Each structure stands twice: as structure tokens, then as C-alpha cells.
Chains A and B, each alone.
Chain A
Amino acid sequence: MTSLPLLSLIVFVPWAGAALLAILRKAPPTTVRVVALLFSLSTLVLGLMALGDFDPARITPQFVERQAWIAALNVHYHLGLDGLSLVLVLLTGIVTPAALLASWRDERDPRLFGALFLTLQGAALGVFLALDFFHWFLFWELSLVPAFFLIKLWGGPGASRAAYQFVIYTIGGSAFMLLAFAALYVATGTLDFIQLAQAAADGTLGQKLATLGGWWPKAVFLGVLLGLAVKVPLWPFHTWLPSAYAEAPTGGSMFLTGVMSKMGVYGFLRLLWPLFPPQLHAASPCLLWLALGGVVLGAYAAMRQTDLKRMIAYSSINHLSYCLLALFAVANATGRPGLTSEATAAALSGTILQMFNHGLSAAALFFCVGIIESRSGGRRGLNDFGGVRTAAPIFAGLCGIAMFSSIGLPGLNGFVGEFLIFRGVFGLVPWAAAVACLGLLATALFLLTFWQRVFHGPVRGLAANLKDLSVLEIVTLAPLVALMFVFGIWPQFLAGLINPLVTTWAGHLSLP
């Protein structure tokens, strides 16, 4: 084990980069971009270092840093990394540099852009690594500030409204979560995730919550649920998402969908599920329907979008709803007599793999739409183009791979996670898996329709002058596409990191 405070470095190096950019007032834009890129790459480097020392067989957090912080509130500075966190740290390390590369040619204040981006990156990493609600929530909320400005200042014509709606809606949700944790603190006297989860597992958390009286245990659960549901988002709390993703600049959309949308699912896995098993179990019949709403209606709504970014945004709703569907299916089956751990382990593995894989493919797709947009003066309508494949074959090839990854084609990364989710959900709640199949069909339908309209047919509309990818763009997109193949053919790389953890979770399912 290294003596470096590795996790703190992971979180704070991007912030140090942001601070450095703030100082570099006179630096030329290219220097600024290179600095931002290098600091954003630190996550990947440090994440791989952590990977080297990581022991997948140990299921407790590793590289733990725990210092007393605010004694009066019993708050500790507590960071730790398990398989779930590691996967998301690696994802952040891959997506952020790609997002910065995607914005390389943006001439508008690259210094501020880079600083905001690095701040955002650090905050997201903090969320994935913090183990105490106090600073977890700080990171959680802090991520909104740079995201807000990235959307508002670099976004499209409707960016102001979209940014406001995004931030207010999310804060609105988080307010309830904060409140719920305040109540939790009143009841238990701690905000430490590990301790709270422990208390939840042995039933003391439930008893202590009950001391608050009446409807409080339910209200606390609903508060946390609401905060996370808006963030993911769980259908129907998703209406902020299409406009936020659509109005954000390309790099912003990539990060929002690639990393920030994972924060919500992560919260479900790290907070809601371990802390409130009986409540989640009780709510699961209803939540299953909401997740199915996201899977099916999210995909169907995508069919009606004529703005390509909104379409991809809706496909994100669909893909993330699979994660929630699997988790709710697990919650639903918890405590069922004769439940074996196989289906549960598959569902949970699938959720985590899906988070990672969706991050790759959705970020790549947003980048592709961004390429179209940047070459056609901001136009990105479904009907503005035709025959792009003739005009730009390399672009079409790489974008096509990303699209098929999103469809869940075997051999590419998307399939493994979706298969495991379906495997798990079928074993736990068969009818839900059957309904969710409609989402698979609808996804294929709208993505192939997009492909047919924009890439196939005779060259028409704005496609006529479309240039093929530049070297920089290939450098941005090719690694993402290559990883789609790697994780599609060799899922063991990720599965090996999370399987012991997931198997333990699956083996210890019980209702106190």
C-alpha cells in the first residue's frame, strides 16, 4: 500500500489545476488547454495507480483516509475506494480528457472553461470517493456550480433557461436529501456511510429512525430518494435533462452524460439501497414501474425528437433507467424466500457495467453530434442532413460503432451490461424484464432511424460540405471507440474489479 494520500490526490489534483488556470492570466490559449488536459488526465493516471494496488477480493473500502474534521458534528474527512468507486474513477478519467479535447477548438475563454471543467471533475470524483455525508454532499452540490456556468456561458441559444432549470431542479431535489440526512443525523448522531450502512444492516438504524416518530422514517427515505431521483434522473423527474444536455456545449454534454448522470446511480447504490432496505423494498413495486417508464417511454420519446442532442439525451434516460430497474428488482426480491444470489449478482454487476459502458458510448455519441453541429453552423436537426456517410466515411464508421454500442450490439461494450441486467431482472421480476424488452426494440428503432436519415440516402442538406474528421477529432474519438471493443470482448477487466464486491452484496441481502 502506498503512503501517498492517493484518493485525496485524485480528488484535489484537478482542483489544483483549476487554481493554476485561475492564476495563468496571460497564458496563451494553447498552453491553457494543454494544462487543463494534463490535469484532467491525472485522474486516469492516479486511477490506474490505484488499480495497480487494488485488491478486488477485499470488499471493504481501500486506500482509506479518515481524519477527524468537525468534532462538534462528529464529521470526519473520510475517503475510500471500492470496486464501484474505482470503476467510476476510471470512467471519469477517460471521459473528462475526451470532453476537453472535444472542446479544443472552442475559442471562447478556454481558461475559464478549463478551470470550470476541472472543478467539475474534482467534485464528481469527490462524490465517488467520499464516505461521509457531510463532504459527500458538498461535492454533490459543488458540482452544480461549474456545470451551471458551463451550460449557461458556452451553451446554445436556450442555454440560460436550461441551465436554470437543471440547477434549480437538482438543488430542489437535493434540498430534500439534505433535510433527510439532517433527520438521520438527529436520530443516529453520525453521517458516516459505513457506520450508517452497518446500522441499517443490523436493524439499529430502523429503530433509531422510529424514535423520530410517526411518518419520519418514510419521509427521510423519500427525501433521499427524491434527491437521487432527480439527479439520475428517474422517470418522471427527468424533464430537465433533455434541454440541459441539448443546450450544453459538446464537452459539457459529454461530461454530463458520461460522468454526472452516474453520480445519481452511484448515490442509489451507496446511500439509498444500503441505508434503507426495508423502505426501498416497500417502495419497489412502484419504483419498478417508474424505471420501466424510463426504459420504455424514454426510448419512445427519443423517437419523436428532431434535435439530435435531445434524442441522444433521451437515450441516456433509457439507458440509466436500466440501471435503476436492476436495482429496484433487487430491492423488490430482497427477503423473498428461496432467493439465490445468482440473479442478484448479475443484476448488480450489470448495473455497474452499464454505468461505465453508457458513459463511454453516450459521451462518444454526443461528441459525434457535436462534430455535425460544429460543421454546420449549429444545426443538428434530424432532417437537416442526409448521406453523411458518403461525405465523411471515417466519421460515419466511428459514429456507427458508437451507435451500435448504444443499441447494445454484442461484441461492443453495451451488450454485456444490458445482458446482465436482463439476466438479473428476469430472475428476480420476470415480467419487468419482458416489458423492458420494448425499450431495447425502441432504442434500435430510433437510433437506426437517425442513422438512416442523417447518414444514409443521397447527400443532401448541410451534409454536402461536411468534412471528414480531423486528426484531433480522431484522437478524441478513436480511444473511446477502441475501449468499446475492449470492454465488449474482454469484460473481465471490469467484472474482475467488481465481482467480489457485488457477490458479497448479493449474498447478504436481507431485511432487518
Chain B
Amino acid sequence: MSLSVQLLWLIPALPLLAAGIGALTPRRGRGLAAGAAIGAMGIAFLLSCGALTTALAHPAAHAAHNFAWFDLGLGALRLGWLLDPLTAFMCVMVTFVGLLIFIFSVGYMHEDANFTRFFCFLSLFAAAMLGLLVANSLLLLFICWELVGLASYLLIGFWFHKPAAAAAAKKAFITTRIGDLGLLLGMLWLYDSTGSLLFYDGGAGVLEPNALGSLVAQTTVGGLAVSTAIGLLIFCGAIGKSGQFPLHVWLPDAMEGPTPVSALIHAATMVAAGVFLIARVYPLMAVDQLLAAPPLHALTVVATIGAITALMGALIGVAQSDIKRILAFSTVSQLGYMMLALGVGSWVAAIFHLLTHAFFKALLFLGAGSVIHAAHHEQDIRQLGGLRGPMRTTFATFAIGTMALTGVPFLFSGFWSKEGILHAAHEWDVSHLPFYAGLAAVVLTAFYMTRLVAETFYGSARSDSASHAHENPSVMTLPLVILAVCAIALGFLGTPVWPWLQARLLGQEEVHGHSLLEGGGLMILSIFLVALGLGVGWAIYGRKLRVSAAAPDPLETALPPVFATLRAKFGFDELYAATVGRLNNAIAVVADLLDRYVWDGAIRFLAVLGEFVGVVSRETDGDALNGGFNATSESLRDGGKAYSRAQTGEAHGYLRVIAIGFVLLVLAVMLGGGR
């Protein structure tokens, strides 16, 4: 089966249709809403597989189908669909992982009153993400990008009656929108410089040599190539969406949403969008590498931000105690890895990690959801414990996810994809700092995941909700098992011996592998670091298991200030509240005061001035001039006074000044106009 690029729109359209059905279904129509969502996603998955076969037949081609959206000027604003291996692999991943998350949600959200609405929003989320993947236009990508933002807003705030959820939803939308403004400006600049926003358009697209050549040839502020400036602005969007430093603050709060949503945000959609965006516009990001000595390469910034994020996320993850927040920070950290890979020049390594991560992170989040569901919505790992016995399937699959995430060698997918990134970082000739940051994050990841597993699944239950936990129905465990299989199997598509996935992404027909012994030293180092993290983690948290929920964390006892800093997430929220938040409020206050006093005050002053002029003119008008006129105006004035008592009086001030001004002006015209 194959799917041509002309029909590619069906992939996002089906979930969109399901979202529409879900929106119009009344609350009791649970089966219909869930069935439509799952059915649409299932068909979309099959279509994506079809698209993948089409794309793999000619991996080097960027098959595009463009069409006019509306007339603009002498031409039209055009949008289009794009099919290449990058799009196709991503579509397959999103639809497959999404499908499993949808199925899991049937069990997880079973008791929720707004079940139908939930599936409507889930479908919308998937549709927007799939639209973003198949877009052949930065504008269409941006449109879907914003819709992803909307869907995440709706889903993070799904339990909107909880103030924390409502606040988290707003925070996610606003924080990502800050990045989106950069993306918008970058897009406008690109449009203005090239006259197009289509990626591929038979030679006239923005990612094709003509446009890239002209973009890199021009320079702008600070000697930056225009392509660099545009690339950096576009990267702002990715920073926001993919939770990169310094806009990562929304991601942990997004845990307020139902757990399947967290899985969807953190694995298949939303955060993956930023990495995908940079991979999609990679030719633009990388074109300034051709320049001899530019002040800055766009990709250097990407690598730096990625390295900072990878390390920072892993550090913060060490000191959290909410099971979902630990996973959230691990996502932040892993996304940092992907950005790091993009920055050091290996976008295929980034996408490989994105794909493997999508499976094992979905697995971990759904595993966490399974725990939370069983433990009556208890999310604090200090309150859990001992779940290994009652929840065997969840434990086994969660353990597989953990090993994939930490990069336990050879069997697990995360090992191979992370290896690719570390190798790329090692070969980067600009700086080795990102490489070291990546290595440090390897240890930390193994450490905090060991802590998480030890506290949650080992020892004894430390609360009533944990002691009453039992395994969930198979509608929830089956997706876990499937994801666990993928978390293992997927790695073998991209091992150094047979890097099939990487070759196809790069558009190569043949696969050139090499022996594991090449670069084996680095592999041994990273295996050692994983072992170190696991060993230290087990030594601290596994050998002496937590006995009560109130007991302090061993790290807290050993290094109180460090632990406190990490637990407070380096204080970014407070910092932003104290700076950006305050500045924002200050501008609002100023704007309001300007209106109330300065501008409105000026008008009131004019009114008073008018009244004053009126009084003066009344006092100075001679009887001789105004004999008969006075009588009339007196009576008018009396009437006016009576009327004005009923009114506020101020308006008459305006009237007067305007009347007087008008008279003066008429005089001026009469006197001046004759000349």
C-alpha cells in the first residue's frame, strides 16, 4: 500500500474529523467519541505506513503538492503538503504512539464526566501535530504549531476546575507564545526576503539552493548572515515548544493535565514539534556553515541551548518527588540532547533519538499513569512504594522504559540513539563542552531514574492509597506491553552496524554500517557512566529503602543547599515572576495611569479651559454689543442650567470648548481663506 503526496492531507484530516465528532457528541455518547478518535487514529496510522512506503521508494525526493490558499497581490498565498522520509517516519510514530495513548485513555479517563470532550481534544492535538508534520509551508506549519498550542492548553487545563490546572494551561500557552513570536518574526523575515514560505517548490522553495544562497549572502545587524538571524528567530519557537532553557518553565507545570495528556505532550506531540521544526528547516539552519568567518553560526546557539538544557533538566530531576515531574524534567533533559544533536550537525541522530524517546517516554508516562490510577491519584513517590508486587506488568514495562531512557547497553533503544548523539557531539570541532554536558547528563539520568524506580516500586507501601493499589485492566496494560516491545526493538533500526533509519532520513538508498569497535572507546565510557549512575543510585536509594513518607531524602541530608536549589528548580519561576512578571505589571499600570490621568486629564483640562473662556467672554461682552442677544441667551442658559443639573455638567464643558474652537477656526478660515 502506498499513499501519494496529494492525499497526504488525509492523515491529519481524519483525527480532525474525529475531533469535530467529539465536539458535537453529547456527554453520554462516550462510545462514539472514543470510537471515532481511536478509529481515525488507527486509519491514520495505516495511511502513514502507506506514506512511509511511498517515501522510502525514493528517499532522496521531497515530494510536494502545493496549492493556493487565497489571492494576495499579483499572486497568491500558497500552502502545500510534503512527503519525505522525515515526515513519514514522524507520522508513523505519532499515529502509533498516539493510538496506544488513546486506547490507554479509555481506561484511564473511564470515570471522568467529560470523557467525550477529552477525546475531542486528544484528536485535535493529534490532528494539529500531524498537520505540522505534513506541511510544506512554514506558514502552514506555524498554523498547526499554534493549534498544537491550543490543544495543549485545552488538555493541560482539562480539569479546569482545579486552579492549578487552569494556571498551568495559561502558563504553557503564554510561555510557548513568547517563543512563537520569535518564530513569527523569523517567518515574516523569511517571507519578505524570499517571497515564499514553501519549503520545496520545484527550485523556488525556501529550503532550496537558490533561496538559501541569497539568504546567506546578505548580512544584517552585527554582521550576521540573514539566514543566521532568521534561523535563530525560528529557533525561538523551538525553544518555547520543546521546553528548552530558558523557556522550559511551562513543561513541569503541564503535569497538571491528565496523565495520558502528559504522555502525548512529552512523547509524540508538542515537545517533539520543536525538534522536528529545526530538523525540517535544517538546510536553512546549516547554510551559514559555508561562510568563512561569520560572527555566529545558528547551530552553535542550538548546541549551546541544548547542552544547557540537557544538563539542567537532569540536575533538577534528581531532587523532585512527584513521579510525573521527575519524568517531565527527564523530558526536558532528553529534548536538550536532541537539540544538542541538531546543533552539532547530526539532525538524523536527533530524529532517531526523538523516535526512540517517543516510545519509551510514552511508556514511562503511561506507566506512571497506571501507578497513579491504581494508587488513587497519589503522585508523590515518597507516598508510594512496594508496587512491584501488586503491579507486575506495570513494573516490568516501566523497568524496560527506565533502561531505555538511561541507555542500558545493547538491548535498549535509548542506548543506540543516545550513543549517536554523544558520538556526534564528540566529533564537533567548535567546542567539547556540549559533549561533557551530555556525559554528565548520562550519569544523572541513570541516577534519578534509579531513585524513581526504587522509591516507587521497591520497599513497602507508605500510604493507604499505595497499599490498596492493584494492577489495571488490560486496556491500560496492553499499550504498556506494546510500547515496551518497541522501546527495545526500535533501537535496532539505527545501530552503527546497520544504520538503516539514518540512511533513509538522509535520502540514501544504501546502508553503510561499520563495526562497533570503531569509536568503541566512547561507547565503553558511556556504558561505564550509565553503570555509575545506576550503581550510585541503587547504593543510595535501593540498598537502604525509604521507610516512611516523611523521612528526608538521603541527598537532602548530605547536601542540603544543593538539594534545596535543585528542588526549587534553580528558582526560574521566582526569577521570572520578579523580573518579567513585574515589568509586565509595571507597563500595564503605566498604560492604565496614562489613560486615566494624562489623556483623560487633558480632555478634562480642555473642558475646564472652555468653561473659563466662556466665563471670561461672558464678563467681557459689552451690553452694547449684545443687547438683544443677551436676553435670548439668558433664557437659553437658564434652560441649559436646569438641564445641566440633571447631567454631570462636564460634557457641557466639552461642548463649549468645541463651539469656541469652531468659531475661532471659522473666523480664521474666513480671514485667511480669502487670500
Chain A interface residues (CB < 8 Å from chain B): 160-161, 164-165, 168-169, 171-172, 175-176, 179, 182-183, 186, 212-214, 216, 236-239, 242, 296-298, 300-301, 303-305, 341-343, 345-346, 349, 387, 389-390, 397, 404, 409-411, 415-416, 419-420, 422-423, 426-427, 430, 433-434, 437, 440-442, 444-445, 448-449, 451-452, 455-459, 491-492, 495-496, 499, 502-503, 506
Say how far A425's CB is from chain B's closest CB, in angstroms.
Answer: 9
For B72, B162, B587, the residue with the greatest tally of chain A CB atoms inside 10 Å of its CB is B72
Q: Across the interface, name the chain A residue whose C-beta is closest to B596.
A: A239
Q: Which residues of A contact B162 (CB under 8 A)?
A: 457
Is B185's CB under 8 angstroms from A164's CB? no
Say how far B603's CB is from chain A's closest CB, in angstroms.
Answer: 6
Is B70's CB under 8 angstroms from A492's CB? yes
Is A169's CB under 8 angstroms from B654's CB? yes
Is A213's CB under 8 angstroms from B675's CB? yes
Of B174, B672, B673, the residue contacting A445 (CB under 8 A) is: B174
Q: Which residues of B contact A179 (CB under 8 A)?
A: 662, 665-666, 669
**Number of chain B interface residues as a range:** 35 or more
Say how far B329's CB is from chain A's closest CB, in angstroms.
Answer: 25
Of B150, B161, B588, B647, the residue contacting A301 (CB under 8 A) is: B588
- Distance of A506 Cα from B672 Cα, bound (Å): 37
Is B665's CB under 8 angstroms from A495's CB? no
* A-facing residues in B291-323 (Cβ within 8 Å): none
Of A304, A449, A452, the residue contacting B591 (CB under 8 A) is: A304
Is A165's CB under 8 angstroms from B177's CB? no
Is B651's CB under 8 angstroms from A164's CB? yes
- Distance of A175 Cα from B647 Cα, bound (Å): 23
Is B70's CB under 8 angstroms from A164's CB? no
Say how far A19's CB is from chain B's closest CB, in angstroms.
Answer: 28
Is B73's CB under 8 angstroms from A410's CB? no
Q: Which residues of B contact A496 (CB under 8 A)?
A: 70-71
Is A448's CB under 8 angstroms from B173's CB? yes
* A-facing residues in B623-675 (Cβ within 8 Å): 647-648, 650-651, 654-655, 657-658, 661-662, 665-666, 669, 672-673, 675
> Which of B140-148, B438-446, B537-545 touches A?
B140-148
Of A168, A437, A499, the residue contacting B71 (CB under 8 A) is: A499
Is A165's CB under 8 angstroms from B71's CB? no
Q: Does B498 contact A (CB under 8 A)?
A: no
Assuming A423-B188, A426-B192, A491-B69, is B166 touching A236 (CB within 8 A)? no
For B150, B166, B169, B587, the residue with the greatest tally of chain A CB atoms inside 10 Å of its CB is B166
Is B673's CB under 8 angstroms from A456's CB? no
Say how far B144's CB is from chain A's closest CB, in angstroms.
Answer: 8
- Distance of A270 Cα from B160 Cα, bound (Å): 47
Is B72's CB under 8 angstroms from A346's CB? yes
Q: Which residues of B contact A168 (CB under 8 A)?
A: 651, 654-655, 658
Contact with A along B579-613 (1 / 0, CB 8 A): 00000100111111011001110010000000000
Is A343's CB under 8 angstroms from B192's CB? yes
Is B185's CB under 8 angstroms from A437's CB? yes
Q: Which residues of A contact B527 (CB under 8 A)?
A: none
What are 11 A-B contacts with C-beta separation under 8 Å? A169-B654, A179-B665, A183-B669, A236-B595, A298-B591, A300-B587, A301-B588, A304-B589, A409-B146, A410-B142, A415-B143
Is B650's CB under 8 angstroms from A164's CB? yes
Q: Does B470 contact A (CB under 8 A)?
A: no
Q: Does B430 contact A (CB under 8 A)?
A: no
Say how far B66's CB is from chain A's closest CB, in angstroms.
Answer: 15
Is B658's CB under 8 angstroms from A457's CB? no
Is A441's CB under 8 angstroms from B177's CB? yes
Q: Across the interface, name the chain A residue whose C-beta is closest to B197.
A: A423
- Distance of A300 Cα from B192 Cα, bound (Å): 29
Q: Across the interface, name the chain B residue whose C-beta is closest to A434.
A: B185
4 more CB-based (< 8 A) A-B contacts, given A345-B73, A440-B181:
A238-B595, A303-B588, A345-B72, A426-B188
